[in-house]
Amino acid sequence: EADLRQCRDLGVWAIDLSVPLSDQQLRHKLGWRREQALDAIRHLVPQARELGLEVIVGGEDASRADHDFLL
């Protein structure tokens, strides 16, 4: 959240929120489950938008992610 404010304060107009989407990266990189990734996206995107930032969500390791989870 502080990073989002810092982006705004630096005059950044858009951010790329990169989130691991494969179970392997979620587990080994962050110790998360799928729902935690979705919660992070649901929390951070509206916050960034409230600060006037455009948001691009990039899915890391999407080629190994469960197809139904991506949809």
Give the pLDDT confidence of 1-46 residue by residue, as tens digits. Answer: 899 999 999 999 999 999 999 999 999 999 999 999 999 999 999 9
CB under 8 Å, gap of 24 or more: what pairs does 62-68 form?
62/21, 62/22, 63/22, 64/22, 64/23, 64/24, 64/25, 65/21, 65/22, 65/23, 66/22, 66/23
pLDDT tens-digit series, residues 34-55:
999 999 999 999 999 999 999 9
Q: How large a percentage of the chain has pLDDT more than 70? A: 100
Q: What is the pTM of this model?
A: 0.87
Distance CA 48, CA 62 (A): 23
pLDDT of 8: 97
Per-residue pLDDT band for 71 (boundaries 50, 70, 90) equals confident
